[in-house]
Amino acid sequence: MEFKVKGVRVRVSLLFWALLCLALVFETSYLMVIMLASIIFHELCHIVCMAAYGVEIKGIYFEPFGVIIEKFSDSPPPSQRIVVALAGALGNFIIAAVFAFVHAFFSSQMFIYIVFVNLCLGCFNILPVKGLDGGDVLSAVLDIIARSKKVNKDKILKLSSSLSLFLLCTAAVFSGIFYGFNISLIIVILNLAFVCIYKTIC
């Protein structure tokens, strides 16, 4: 499915819809619905920040293992790239803080889910993995360091990506053993595995 919003091309892959439907069938807590809304908000934070720096956006693509934002113009300076990269996670943390505050006065299981999903999404995206926000931050920091000293940027990014995948998989296994496996966790692991293996190697 493809359409345009104010000249920006938006494409949602069929596999993305298939994974969403699969999650909705097996997840009775609607965690995936909250996750989808949180992901959209996360990307909107990036887009608003890009617009503030004058970065023109060509397209937004919802792929099965992530959201890709394609830009017309060149990347902004490293300092601005760091701000843009952190904007999404910061937005998630703010949403989590707001609903945690509201939950203190109006208790609701839904509010707990919103806090949980946004905290996980924010923490997940700041992992130093190539293709994630944390990887973009690390890449920008390495570009700044490279001005004064030589660094092997690709090697560092691949190492940090592989280590992050290993740690997350280890945490997922222990979580599954003690708390049970669920489709949401599996999708998150597949997401990071795809980013680490495909985007790092290609």
Sequence-distant (6+) residues with CB within 8 A of 67 are 39, 43, 60, 61
Write out pLDDT tens, residues 168-178: 777 777 767 77
Q: Answer with the residue of higher pLDDT: 177 or 125.
A: 125
Per-residue pLDDT, 201: 47
Domain residue ranges of the chain, discontinuous segments joined by + = 2-151
Q: Are 192 and 129 in contact (CB under 8 A)?
A: yes
Percent of the chain with pLDDT over 90: 15
Q: How far apart are the first and last CA of the chain?
A: 26
Write out pLDDT tens, residues 23-62: 667 666 677 778 778 888 998 899 889 888 888 887 888 7
What are the φ and ψ backbone dihedral angles of 66, each rounded to 5 degrees? Answer: 145, 175
- Sign, CA dihedral 189-36-9-72, equals negative
Sheet containing 8-12: which strands, arranged edge to edge?
Answer: 2-5, 8-12, 57-63, 66-71
Global confidence as pTM: 0.77
User: What average pLDDT score do residues 176-185 get?
Assistant: 64
H-helix or E-strand spanning residue 115: helix 109-125
Q: Smallest Cα–Cα separation from 168: which of 133, 139, 202, 193?
A: 193
DSSP string, 148-202: TS---HHHHHHHHHHHHHHHHHHHHHHHHHHH---HHHHHHHHHHHHIIIIIHH-
Q: What DSSP designation does 55 have?
A: P
